[in-house]
Structure formats: structure tokens, C-alpha cells
Amino acid sequence: MLRFLDAGESHGKAMISIIDGIPSNFNIDIDFINNELKRRQSGYGRGERMNLEEDRVEFLSGVRGKNTTGNPITMVIYNKDYENWKEIIGKEPKSEEKIVVPRPGHGDLVGYFKYGTGDIRDTIERTSARETSIRTAVGALCKEILKELGIEIRSKVHSLGNLYDDAVDIYDDTIYGKINKSPVRCYNAEVEKGFIKKIDICKEQGETIGGSVFLSIKGVPIGVGSYSQWDRKLDAILSYGIMSVQGVKAIEFGNGLDLNLRGSTFNDEIIYENGNIKRKTNNCGGIEAGVSNGENIEIKVYIKPIPSIKKDIGTVDLRKKKETSTRYERSDVSAVIPASIVLENVVAFYILREIMNKFTADEFFELKRSINYYRGTVYLR
């Protein structure tokens, strides 16, 4: 079973992961992984920390030369900003140095009471979206493997505030090239200007803004996932992974939130096209009864505004036990743009895990042969 743990703190020495279950003999392109980390750090509205860090991954085990060995893989991303924080992170704080004013919407208050360390700093260090750097690296390795198996994952920003980008075919390379060149990862040039203006206004006002991301996974064969048990349903598994990303508050598969559609128009009619089974539409988002149906898996992910804002809102001082104004911790204006990259890589891990659950293999070429044989014979049953 493919699995991983990650560790590390926002201003600690490094972010680390150990991945178990990656098949042997896969040739890793480390530049691909580092480019995914670079994509995560780019985008309009990013905070000043992105000017400090230049994330690059290092392999400490499980890789010989460029090839995976089948052993557990250890990946590390060193935090450059640690040098500016080591005197704070590396010592026991004095009572007056402890953070006791929680930011509404963050994990500050719940972490303070759950773990009882008496310092919100300990919660901040782990709840920070900095954790998504190592999850992106893990997912990028999985994404590389999926690409070799004929499975591709792409994304775009769907909305920012109340502005929505056009619905387009993101598997058209010309269209997707334009999206990737956009500082806000959208297609429509006028909408791009609107997104940028919204971010600028929020920055001036000491505010943050949320929005949504469109994710699409192409090439997953029919039959991945299962309805035989509730915890094996593919959409449930993907939801679990997506909801674990900081700031995510809702998920939609296909057009599941279009309440105007009736059964006769929502359900995707099945047709034969050039000898293959296809769907006229994809309202279900590529998953039925918890199992992939061969169409693109399409998901919209809704992300809240970042809770660390400069504008004053009410909170409490936990030491003095009285109401006060919130404090500001360095942050971006919007998490939506980098979240689109993070989410691509997060879902890559879960898709590869479910692929490997169906096509069990210890070695990469064995895995590739199994999935190719299945694709060629599944509709002959």
C-alpha cells in the first residue's frame, strides 16, 4: 500500500517526508519535482516569504542515481528562513514571549487548548500552509509516475471572490499554456485583470480573499475505486485528501451543485463512439458509485480567505482573559492560485495509491504492463 508521513515546521530546519510503496526502477526527473515546487511558489498575491525561499527537494533514501529502489523514500526541503528564526524556534520562550492572542479562522485557538503548550507559536508552526511544500513534492513524484502510465492532472483558477473564469478545455495545450502563463492561472484576459484588481484592493485594505479551483484528471481507466465498502469509494478518498489541504472548505464533483438539472439531463448518457464506450456529458465528474467510469475526473475545490489579516477583527487575549483585536502573521493575500498547484499534486498521490491497489506491483514496468493490458481488454468482457 502506498503511504507517506510528513514532518517539519514552518520556520524549522526542514520539511521532510517518508514515502513507502513507490515501485522500483522508476527513473525520477528531479527537475520535474522542483518545477512543481516552483509553480507552487508563484502566482499573483503571494507574500514576502516566497522571495526568501527557493524550494528544492533532496532525496536521502530510496533512490540510487535517479532510479527508485523499492525502499522507503525520504525527501527533504530545507527552509532557508530558518536562519532568521532559529533563535526563536530553538529555545524555550519566556512567559511574556508566548503568543496568546489567537487569529479567528486559524488553528490557533483549538491547538492552544488541544495540546496545552501555552504558546500558540507551536500550533502556527504545524498548521501553516508551509506544510504543503513537502506534500507537493510527494505528489509531484506520484504525478511523474502517473504521467508515464498515461494519466495527466491539470488545474486552473475557477473563481476569485465573485468573479468567474471561462470554462475551457484545459487539455488543449494552447489553452493550458495561456493559463500557466497567467499570474492568476485563468484563461480570460478580462477576468485576469479583474482577479488582479481584487487582490490589489484586498492588499490595500488589509484583507484576504478566497475562491475556487477546477481540477481535472485525465486517463484514469474505468474501474478504479470500489462500492463494495464505504471507505473504498474513489470520490470519498479524493475528498479526504483534498479536504486535508489548508483552507479548503467544500468540494464539488462534476456538476453536483447544479440543482436545476433533473435526472434525465444530469445522468450521463452512455454511447458507442468509434467502438469505445463514452458519455455524452460528464455531469457526474468521472465517478459513479465510487468507481471511475473512464471519463475525466472533474472537481471544483472551494478555498476560504486566508485567516491572517491586517484588518482588525475581534478575538481574545488568553492570558489576560479579555477581548482584544486580532494580530497579524505574515501571509499571502490569496491562497487560491498556489492551491491549484498543491491540489494537483495532492490528488496525484491518492490516484496513484488507488491505481496501485488495483494493479499491485513492486516494480514500475510490471505496473505499466498491468495497466496497459487492462486498458486493452476491459471492454472485451
Look at the block and give the residue holding cell 480573499: 209
Q: Looking at residue 213, what is its pLDDT?
A: 98
Condensed to tens digits (0 to 9), the pLDDT of residues 286-312 reads 999 999 999 999 999 999 999 888 888
Distance of alpha carbon 62 from alpha carbon 66, whole angstroms: 10
Q: Residue positions in the annotated binding site for NADP(+)? A: 40, 46
Condensed to tens digits (0 to 9), the pLDDT of residues 68-116 reads 999 999 999 999 988 888 888 888 888 989 999 999 999 999 999 999 9
Q: Looking at residue 171, what is its pLDDT?
A: 97
- All structural domains of the chain: 3-380 (3.60.150.10)
Answer yes or no: pTM beyond 0.75.
yes
Q: Looking at residue 380, what is its pLDDT?
A: 81
Q: Residue positions in the annotated binding site for FMN? A: 126-128, 246-247, 289, 304-308, 330
Q: Looking at residue 50, what is its pLDDT?
A: 56
Q: Looking at residue 47, what is its pLDDT?
A: 63
Q: Looking at residue 379, what is its pLDDT?
A: 87
Q: Residue positions in the annotated binding site? A: 40, 46, 126-128, 246-247, 289, 304-308, 330
Q: Looking at residue 312, what is its pLDDT?
A: 86
Mark the ranges of the chain whose per-residue pLDDT is less than 70: 47-53
Closest CA to 351 of 300, 288, 287, 270: 287
